[in-house]
Structure 1
């Protein structure tokens, strides 16, 4: 081998090492057990190195296995990082998903301690309720409407769990079950029966303005329906396909959280937050209180 060939080989090895060194492997059982223990104690867990998509999914599966032992029944799923602004915050260009467990979804007007998690936040979100498993064949927002029966205003209360959340990458957010912890759901809106009404609903979902305000009416944050993948129900298309790839089938009654219409904001004691969905017919405000 000539000197030039040797240098080329060494450069290739160095590049490979640099690439592989940038990502951790799937977290070990002991590391995931520690994550679960911090989740239960509501204390920040140590950060872990940036994960690849595969290792993020592997870590999430291990964590979900432990969370299920404590939290019980899965009541739905959440699509996370569906808003480009939130993707940018976590240095990614694709969504991730997590599981919602029994007790995570509370009614509008719910009061929670400010420290409901290790790294508590709140955001304007939305739920839909699955009507049948054929939702996995939906490839457009209109097709999604044929397989859901409710659209539900929702303030999510995620918990980013780790000591330094800004250091998480996209798969790292997936690894912590996309921070699923709590949320408050408002009055459901029934999906209309006729084609014309359904297209009107799709248009309203895309064009609506979602605002978060405090008890005085002061605006805390806002966003548009189109901030979620151009059309909120695109999050359902993405999630249904992502779950199917992992052998998971959505069931009638499952809830799906679509993602953030607003920035992630920290709660404070005494704060009451109301989310209003301007331009979405039938949508009643949803509210949460922090003590």
Structure 2
């Protein structure tokens, strides 16, 4: 983020950033959740994003490829669930994508939860100072129903904002539906979402529950990504944020979400020990 938003005093030392990143990397590698990293870091977004950038650089060096971004904590109910009051962003890697109607090996995740969202695929870059509603809307090539499988490397989801930001906005996997549609004049504020677990509704909401409008969430993300020095580009997939409360994943269950005008999206989880 820009220096005028976050004081220089909030930027931790390189050794502190590396220690926090190493703690999260160890949890991801071993599958054993770790203690929160807030005991190592200043309670600032600057500190959290500094750790996230170290982890992202390491992932790229290991051959992973970025395919987009996610916006987290856009829904007031999800903010309340985690005790935070502002959105955050994370990176989507190619190996996080799961095919619609595909299966996720639950043993590869630590403490997964799931939520339904509107995904946006950009047809143009979103950089520079002009992030007017007209430009933001024009940048979107298509929209699609999606499921985000969030996960935390931090034990018991005991997180503050700095913890989840450092942990790549608690990212895990994502699923895009098979019915992408052009945005055109579609009013994303009005879409209705229902998410089912084995046929039983477990979450519901509307487009307006995502920062008032998924396009407003995209505008927030474009500004934040630009300020972090990694603006959104054509072809990026953007998960715009939860339309309803997230729920814990039950191993062996199938989750599906229906979003009006965008169709459905489905994913199944293996039982523990069967992956």
Question: Shorter-chain-normalised TM-score: which range?
Answer: 0.7 to 0.9
- 1:56 corresponding residue in structure 2: 48
Residue number in structure 1 paired with 2:268: 289
Q: What SS does the aligned partner of 1:285 have?
A: strand
How do residues 102-251 of structure 1 correspond to structure 2 at under 5 angstroms?
102-134=94-126, 137-140=130-133, 142-165=134-157, 167-191=158-182, 198-199=184-185, 201-202=186-187, 205-215=188-198, 217-251=199-233
Which is higher, the Rg of structure 1 or of structure 2?
A: 1
Are positions 1:45 and 2:34 aligned together? yes
More strand by share: 2
Q: For residues 14-45 of structure 1, what are the alpha-carbon distances to aligned partners after superposition, in whole Å with 9 as ceiling and x for unaligned?
A: xxxxxxxxx99564313312311211333212
> Which ranges in structure 1 are unaligned for 5 or more consecutive residues?
1-22, 193-197
Residues in 2 aligned to 1:181 and 1:135: alpha-carbon distance in whole angstroms: 26
Aligned mates of 1:43, 1:71 — CA distance in 2: 24
Matches within 5 A, 1:20-99: 25=12, 27-49=16-38, 51-70=43-62, 72-99=64-91
Output one character per residue of 1:170-220: Cα deviation in whole Å (capped at 9) or x when no partner.
23211100112211111243325xxxxx33x02xx21121111133x2111
CA distance 1:248–1:122, change in 2 (3 Å) = same
Report the number of matched residues: 255
> How far did residue 114 of structure 1 move?
2.4
CA RMSD of aligned residues (A): 2.1
Are the counterparts in 1 of residues 257 and 266 from structure 2 also a CA contact under 8 Å? yes
User: Alpha-carbon deviations, 1:74-111, whole Å to 9, x = none?
Assistant: 11011111112222333332111111111212221111
Secondary structure of 2:38's aligned partner: coil
TM-score (norm 2): 0.85
Shift of 1:261: 1.3
**Gapped runs of 5+ residues in structure 2?**
1-9, 271-275
Provide the C-alpha distance between the structure 1 equivalents of 2:175 and 2:63, rounded to a whole number of angstroms: 17
